[in-house]
Amino acid sequence: MSPNNSSSPRAPRPLRDVVFVDGVRTPFGKAGEKGIYAGTRADDLVVKCIRELVRRNPSLPTDRIDEVAIAATTQTGDQGMTIGRTAALLAGLPKSVPGFAIDRMCAGGLTAVTTTASGIAFGAYDVVIAGGVEHMGNHPMGKDADPNPRFMSERLVDPAALNMGNTAENLHDRFPKITKQRTDAYAVESQNKLAKAYENGQIQPDLVPVATMKPETGWVLNSTDEPPRPGTTMEDLATLRTPFRAHGRVTAGNAAGLNDGATAAILASAEAAEELGLSVKMRLVSYAFAGVEPEVMGIGPVPATEKALKNAGLTIDDISLFEINEAFAVQVLSFLDYFGMADDDPRVNRYGGAIAVGHPLASSGVRLMNQLARQFEEDHSAQYGMTTMCVGLGMGGTVIWENPHFDASASAPSTTTSTTAKETAA
């Protein structure tokens, strides 16, 4: 062989640090004709988020945005047409900015972040916008879906796997210690914590007001979430029916509802953030996805978290803050039980969660990140935080973040255990 044709091993390409610069979301609405976004297009909700990110970060030239990744579970109609690209164009970004669509059901927005973050780490991008949208009023989950008949005929999955409420009931069966009383108590606390966060002004800073038009009311500016039910009691939840199983344990009160909403975030390399004068709210440490039996999809965050912790060289005790998506209370409690954490652990969902605020599927992952970033700003004693969620058809996704404000000498904010949580623990 000629020396000119020989090649020496290439040195490993160094990975770049990825930072979370900023994130916003629309107020979440209830799906359906009476919801605040009835008659509003899904892509217009995403456009609101992108425009607000540009407005809030004036030092970022829009032609420096290298990619727009937007997730949607149902990619038809106003959530179709490669929504990442169409939303970028509609938001007025330069035509040189490309975009794409992505789908991992509930973890769509989370996957939009991890996918583009990987590109940043590899050097393909410097700055990206990643987010998600779900208009479940326009696109009910599973509408027009055509599951392959082999799923049933060859028994590849349990029939319950195609209905998320049934998978939650299956989790109750698998973990009988997670009673309906525990899930209802957890749901009450989610409502209470969200109401407290609203009182403290911890939710509003990252909300993008959305004006909507309805024939009966005219123009309305929506600046707060529609789903919350502050003041919910255990007695209220005890009266709700169990739609997925007779005498079951999953109700509309201890599960997230059907919702509309959008989210978006700016991610950048650490070098680009410094060059452009962008804020750094979090640093990406590791992420992982894992599969589980589809009929108990809610347990997905457990193996995903184990993988993410292993990748990061951390243990669960190193995580000071958890943002766990509350698709169902039983799903969160199964995670807490596995890792030996209390139902009212003060590190978990300090601002409440999806049971109270809503869960517009593909958009929720970025909501978790927004809330974690806000908590990092408030709590400098927290070095690492986690965003994690279960995913339809049997998956979980976890992202571990580092707090750029971490101060080893700082004290954690004081927390107060609620009466409901104390009574339940007793």
Give tens-digit pLDDT for 42-69. 999 999 999 999 999 999 999 999 999 9
Confidence class of residue 145 from pLDDT cuts 50, 70 and 90?
confident
Contacts of 267 (CB under 8 A, 6+ apart): 18, 19, 20, 21, 113, 116, 117, 120, 127, 128, 129, 130, 284
Confidence class of residue 214 from pLDDT cuts 50, 70 and 90?
confident
Q: Residue length, the chain?
A: 426
Residue-wise pLDDT tens digits, 225-235: 999 999 999 99
The reported pLDDT for the residue numbered 6 is: 52
CATH 3.40.50.920 assigned to domain 18-140+156-403+411-425? The reply is no
- Residue 403 pLDDT greater than 50, yes or no: yes
* Residue boundaries of the structural domains of the chain: 18-140+156-403+411-425
What is the rounded end-to-end Cα distance, in angstroms, of the chain? 77
- Considering the candidates 135, 139, 359, 380, report the single residue annotated as catalytic: 359
Is 49 known to be catalytic?
A: no
Residue-wise pLDDT tens digits, 275-318: 999 999 999 999 999 999 999 999 999 999 999 999 999 999 99
Is 139 known to be catalytic?
A: no
pTM assigned to the model: 0.93
Cα separation, 351 vs 198, whole angstroms: 8
- Residue 420 pLDDT greater than 50, yes or no: no
Over residues 93-120, mean pLDDT: 98
The reported pLDDT for the residue numbered 4 is: 53
Confidence class of residue 411 from pLDDT cuts 50, 70 and 90?
confident
Confidence class of residue 423 from pLDDT cuts 50, 70 and 90?
very low
Confidence class of residue 8 from pLDDT cuts 50, 70 and 90?
low
- Considering the candidates 106, 135, 139, 172, report the single residue annotated as catalytic: 106
How many percent of the chain have pLDDT more than 90?
86
Is 390 known to be catalytic?
A: yes
- Considering the candidates 49, 139, 172, 390, report the single residue annotated as catalytic: 390
The reported pLDDT for the residue numbered 11 is: 77
Please identify which residue in the block is written with the tokens 């109270």. Answer: 356
Please identify which residue in the block is written with the tokens 């393909």. Answer: 124
Handedness of CA 51, 57, 58, 62 (dihedral sign): negative
Please give the residue that has the higher pLDDT: either 157 or 361.
Answer: 361
Residue-wise pLDDT tens digits, 109-142: 999 999 999 999 999 999 999 999 999 999 988 7
Average pLDDT, the chain: 93
The reported pLDDT for the residue numbered 5 is: 53
